[in-house]
Amino acid sequence: MAAYQENFFTRGPSPLARVTFFGLVAVAVMIADHRFQALSVVRVGVSTVLTPIEHALMLPGNVVRDIGAYLIAKDKLLAENKALNEQVLMLSAQGQRARLILSEQTQIAVLNSANERFSRDGVVAEIIRDARNPFARRIIINRGLSSGIKAGDAVIDGVGVVGQVTALGMSSAEVTLTTEKDQSVPVMIVRSAPATAALPKSAASNAATLATEMTAPGTEIVAAESAPASRAQSGLRAVAVGGGREGTIELPFIPVAADIEVGDELVTSGIDGTYPAGLAVARVTMVDKNPALSFARIVAQPSTAPDHHRFVKVLTSTGTSYPQPDVKTYDLAGSAKGTQTKREAKREAKRALRDR
């Protein structure tokens, strides 16, 4: 007779009161999480419980995948090895150049008594899975708070920027991809100049002599001189915003007259302090300059494809990684100015009294 009795003796608040209460609490939680990011403790706690379960669930699939990788053909490994060796050679040359530039930069930094702009510390993490949320473009990685990752850290792979850490667990983190709608990256537009313009002077002259040998002198002049003049313009700064569902990146609020073309590369400009400068973000695939509109519609394709590989690097940023305002000049210019002048005025007044 349970079904009858419970209607006679209802205990506690009515369902309507309860739904009002819990609904309001849920809305408050949403606001707290969305606007103030105030509930990371809840997230860390719950995900600490859930992560081991997820690991256990993914274990069979991972074992199958690893066995498949173990049985992979020898030829494929050899080809990969060769490709990697070539890449190492290329990168070693770049690395040596980078080391030279770095040493110069540190000297300049010492002269300027400025902080090093970016920490190069990072944690290599494995992509576990995509987030189970059809509305969000996020991936889950297997490192979290225990590896020193913080919310807001930049995530890169071998090619360029992947995204930014937006939520954390003890041993997992959510990375929001750059293609997510509310995700923005400060970028600089880099135009890959033609080969002759990109080479240093001696190499360019070599190329020029080669060109004279092969073709008529008139065309050589065109290749060596007019090309850099017409194409090397670049360096426009902008903010790249994720395109959402299409998996693209867009550049909003760029004037129609701006110097931007299909094929231009977007690299991080580094002015936000989150992303180190010079990382590839995307390549422009469409420029729609409709004079009727005040802004051009610019669409770019992201450089990285995190679905295609397994490892990323999280750049664990230090507190002051971006260029800070110079404290000394700030003090002189701003707050300290008033007090010092007051003190000096007092001293001067005292001196004046003594002198009398």
By CB under 8 A, tell whether 43 contacts other proteins: yes
Q: Which residue is associated with the tokens 């000096």?
A: 344
By CB under 8 A, tell whether 18 contacts other proteins: yes
By CB under 8 A, tell whether 30 contacts other proteins: yes
Q: What are the backbone angles phi and psi of residue 13, rounded to the nearest 5°?
A: -65, 160
* Stretch of residues binding other proteins (CB under 8 A), selected from 33-41, 81-89, 94-102, 322-330: 33-41
CB of 238 to other proteins, least distance (A): 21
Q: Which is nearer to other proteins, 30 or 88 (CB)?
A: 30
Write out the DSSP string of 39-79: -HHHHHHHHHHHHHHHHHHHHHHHHHHHHHHHT--HHHHHH
Q: Which is nearer to other proteins, 58 or 286 (CB)?
A: 58
By CB under 8 A, tell whether 327 contacts other proteins: no
By CB under 8 A, tell whether 182 contacts other proteins: yes
* Tokens linked to 116: 């090093």
Q: Which is nearer to other proteins, 25 or 262 (CB)?
A: 25
By CB under 8 A, tell whether 61 contacts other proteins: yes
In the chain, the N- to C-terminal Cα span, in Å, equals 106
Contact 192, 255 (CB under 8 A): no
CB of 33 to other proteins, least distance (A): 4
Burial pattern 168-205, b for ≥16 Cβ within 10 A else e, equals bbebbbbbbbbbbeebbbbbbbbbebeebbeeeeeebe
Task: Name, in order, each residue with C-beta under 8 angstroms of 39's C-beta and a sequence gap of 6 or more.
Answer: 29, 32, 33
The only residue of 95, 96, 116, 135 in contact with other proteins, by rule CB under 8 A: 135
The only residue of 174, 250, 264, 265 in contact with other proteins, by rule CB under 8 A: 174
* Stretch of residues binding other proteins (CB under 8 A), selected from 3-11, 103-111, 267-275, 315-323: 3-11
The only residue of 58, 79, 332, 333 in contact with other proteins, by rule CB under 8 A: 58
By CB under 8 A, tell whether 283 contacts other proteins: no
Q: E strands, the chain, where?
A: 122-130, 138-141, 154-156, 161-168, 173-177, 184-190, 237-242, 249-255, 265-268, 280-288, 295-302, 311-315
Contact 164, 152 (CB under 8 A): yes
By CB under 8 A, tell whether 288 contacts other proteins: no
Q: Which is nearer to other proteins, 245 or 342 (CB)?
A: 245
* Tokens linked to 148: 């020193």
CB of 132 to other proteins, least distance (A): 5
Contact 236, 259 (CB under 8 A): yes
Cα angle 259, 264, 267 (rounded to 5 degrees) comes to 105
The only residue of 2, 71, 73, 327 in contact with other proteins, by rule CB under 8 A: 2
Distance CA 327, CA 319 (A): 16
The only residue of 127, 149, 162, 167 in contact with other proteins, by rule CB under 8 A: 167
In the complex, the residues that contact other proteins under the rule CB under 8 A are: 1-4, 6, 15-16, 18-19, 22-23, 25-30, 32-34, 39, 42-43, 46-47, 50, 53-54, 57-58, 61, 129-136, 138, 140, 167, 174, 181-182, 244-245
